[in-house]
Chain A
């Protein structure tokens, strides 16, 4: 029996607004425990929430970028449960009427493009953190700095069919929220969190199987690995004639397995009801238009444009547009260098090797786009060879100096003057009579030896094309 996986992802994205969703406290990370708090987010008696409009703006932006319908009427709801990191004993979220619905995003896996539906996007507040005491300390400590930080919950339709697609979805989503500048999209730091629902069914069946909910996956790779494990586990279960139990399972990255949480967690009745402290949210067309104007060119559109405008292959366009900062870098560089494929090669090869493609690193990379452009133009003009350029590049990374200065300081200007090169060629020919004999007797490969010797003598600066030409003439 062949089974197919049916996967849905629930992603929580921490929004980068300056203040929390229902009060003025700072959302900045890293403060002393309980320093970014006030009576409102502490859930003191008598306090009331006041909605941060920017949170709505960010969510509308995301909804538009994910092709959602923005609901003109939506409500906040209380999700009630007891836990020390939840000061009010309820979380303000959205339940029956979320802000955004019925969207989608496109993913590309191995050249196959797929459309993954987005069921809904809603706003809610984050909880605090419980920190359990170290060995010997049986206390737990509650830090409420994070309570009230705004979250967007993005729920996908169960359209994902493989663990690979799940990782691609996560990467695309991350790219989009970073493009929109609404979220840092950092899974390791917790600004982007993912839970997965996965069930199996016989290929061709339409009914859904029993699903397991997976938690505790803190990177794209782990999302994929956890789902791969789960596919194997559920397949084995079903093949042995057993049945999958609907439960929550935690991914254990060290052991590479998912573990059942059954017995440790009772089924919660959250007793959702509309929050009477907040009025229903009404978003009119004017508001949506206002937000639409702030939308940047999104990854897919940018990729298509790069392919068309710069005649770049799809692979290049994808890499260059994976992050907005990198795309900006490419265009700034190419504007000066006017050689898109060359620029692309240098970025995808040398630059990303050094700057790891992390968007912050691109911004702080010592090699600025204009510098790279300058260097590429020097290659084009023949001032330096492609090989020398590698040295120049490395020096730019290290010192941050401009290519002009580096070439001057290190005396790397390419020698193209035939007169100069001829001298070296004649010296090398004179110094290696045996190889000359070999070449003249038919061993054409020995030319490489001569080229090498000339390059060495000129410290790499001789123009290889000229060297080849002159050697062939003289030999």
Chain B
């Protein structure tokens, strides 16, 4: 086998495995070798499985006839994996080995997928750059001095560097889409309730979703197919039938109306980003889509709304990390409150603490109505903006991020700046609608630019198809960083 295997897409690898042109073992070994080669540069993994651990069921031919059988995948380290350390890139869970699998992991295992390892993230998924990870930041494979985006930076970088065939991430305010944009790969956040959250370590329960990060749109469709669907263990997952996502990839654009929200071309946006997105829109129009301008008037409140609701939920979700039952427990405390204080002071990083404090404040007696309740009400208005916009169009197309990847360390001391950069992705989680980011160009320094396609609730097939139509008529997805 002289052909390089690690750059294969999921659908390419799957076809070769089905035809017997290679074995899963060969593929996994090739990817593990790639990991060895690039990890010192990009540091995308927290835990890499040993060669023999990573392919429990791989034989010469996949006994499982699923398209995912024998395919090596990476999983963000806030998704619980049985028997495999799950740290959330936090000191407080650095030694936590779960006794159970997340539902998405069970589903992948059922289909014969192979788990390569757990990827790096911002601590507890709180961040936009992977810089808050307790085990060090991940580097953007396109420019090692830059962030890969966050919080699923490890997964995005691993996909871009071919250090996995595909990956899973999680998205609460843009954490799949934004790193996908920064790393020039595909990232999809499903509709809230489309994919089970059981086993996703909760950050903001009403916003979190697990989704695929892949080398192309077809791969995203294939991976979504396996993980989507009602789960009785997750009361917020919906019992809505899962369509055939791959079959929906017709590439047909004629008859489609694309809405462009004017509020999404923000002040301070990098000119190359705006140019690339406008060019993509023009291209879509040329290929048969109708472009209309729409307005999402409450966009300016999205950041504030998000940072009140997400932190409020997080402050409660992270209360369980108290050193009593599992995870890190500080030494030297003489009584209970001291133990709690030391454990959480030592176990959590700065950003996590910042958000816990913000959230606690927003829920406190005397402030609840002005902050939490008010934010919930504004959330409804934001959702209604999207409902109204979708009366005029099938999908919305926007830039994913106002800028390309910034340099490591550039915004770490300015959390507010960091928060504002999420302006284009946050509202999507607040409304619960699905969104996908695909590459649509590069800036002058060679950093990838992402195009975001948004759809109505449960219309992943629609956004996948529009994304596919654009992708197949361009070459961005075939480009790889020189590592």
Contact = CB atoms under 8 A, between A and B. Distances in A.
Interface of A: 39, 42-51, 78, 80, 82, 84, 87-90, 142, 144, 269, 271, 273, 276-279
Given A42-B325, A48-B236, 4 more contacts: A44-B98, A48-B233, A82-B319, A89-B319
15 contacts: A42-B325, A43-B320, A44-B99, A45-B201, A45-B320, A46-B98, A46-B199, A47-B199, A51-B235, A80-B315, A89-B319, A89-B320, A89-B322, A269-B364, A271-B365
B235 A271 contact: no
Nearest to A279: B235
A45 B93 contact: yes
Contacts of A87: 320, 324-325
Contacts of B96: 45
A84 B336 CA distance: 9
A51 B324 CA distance: 26
Interface in B143-164: none
Contacts of B372: 273
B236 A273 contact: no
Contacts of B427: none
Contacts, number: 99
A276 B209 CA distance: 13
B204 to A, nearest CB: 8
A80 B316 contact: yes
B368 interface: yes
A366 B83 CA distance: 55
Contacts of B325: 42-44, 87, 142, 144
B98 A80 contact: no
Contacts of A51: 235
B313 interface: yes
Give the interface centre of B199, B324, B336 by most chain A CB atoms within 10 Å.
B324
Contacts of B449: none
Interface in B303-330: 312-313, 315-316, 318-320, 322, 324-326
Interface residues on B, range: 35 or more
Contacts of B315: 80, 271
Given A90-B316, A269-B365, A45 B235 contact: no
Given A82-B322, A84-B324, A271 B205 contact: no
Q: Which of A88, A142, A277 has the most CB of B within 10 A?
A: A277
Contacts of A84: 322, 324, 336
A89 B316 contact: yes
A44 B322 contact: no
B89 interface: no
B406 interface: no
A85 to B, nearest CB: 9
B391 to A, nearest CB: 26
Contacts of A50: 232-235
B360 interface: yes
A87 to B, nearest CB: 6
Interface of B: 79-80, 86, 88, 93, 96, 98-100, 102, 197-202, 204-206, 232-236, 312-313, 315-316, 318-320, 322, 324-326, 336, 340, 360, 363-365, 368, 372
Contacts of B318: 89
B324 A273 contact: no
Contact of A39 (B79, B99, B204, B313): B99
A45 B326 CA distance: 10
Contacts of A49: 235
A370 B56 CA distance: 67
A271 B368 contact: yes
Q: What 9 A-B pairs come out closest when comparing CB atoms?
A: A89-B319, A271-B363, A276-B205, A276-B206, A45-B201, A46-B199, A46-B80, A43-B320, A269-B365
B205 A277 contact: yes
A88 to B, nearest CB: 5
Contact of B80 (A45, A142, A277): A45
Contacts of A279: 235-236
Nearest to B323: A84
A90 B368 CA distance: 17
Contacts of A273: 312, 316, 363, 368, 372
A42 B372 CA distance: 28
B23 to A, nearest CB: 33
Contacts of B313: 276
Contacts of A144: 325
User: Of residues B99, B199, B235, which shows the largest number of chain A Cβ atoms within 10 Å of its Cβ?
Assistant: B235
B46 to A, nearest CB: 15
Contacts of A47: 198-199
Contacts of B206: 276
Contacts of B234: 48, 50
Question: Which of A39, A45, A48, A279 is the most central at the interface, judged by chain B CB atoms within 10 Å of its CB?
Answer: A45
Contacts of B235: 48-51, 277-279
B181 to A, nearest CB: 27
A45 B98 contact: yes
A125 B346 CA distance: 31
B387 to A, nearest CB: 20
A54 to B, nearest CB: 16
Nearest to A42: B325
Residue from the set A87, A89, A271 with the largest chain B CB neighbour count within 10 Å: A271
A46 B200 contact: yes
B31 to A, nearest CB: 26
A39 B319 contact: no
B164 to A, nearest CB: 21
A248 to B, nearest CB: 18
Contact of B316 (A45, A46, A78, A269): A78
A273 B232 CA distance: 24
Contact of A48 (B197, B204, B365): B197
Nearest to B363: A271
B56 to A, nearest CB: 22
Contacts of B86: 45
A91 B336 CA distance: 19
B363 to A, nearest CB: 4
A82 B100 CA distance: 25
Contacts of A278: 235-236
Nearest to B318: A89
B102 A46 contact: yes
A363 to B, nearest CB: 37
A190 to B, nearest CB: 22
Contact of A90 (B79, B198, B319): B319
A46 B233 CA distance: 11
Nearest to B102: A46
Contacts of B363: 80, 271, 273
A403 to B, nearest CB: 56
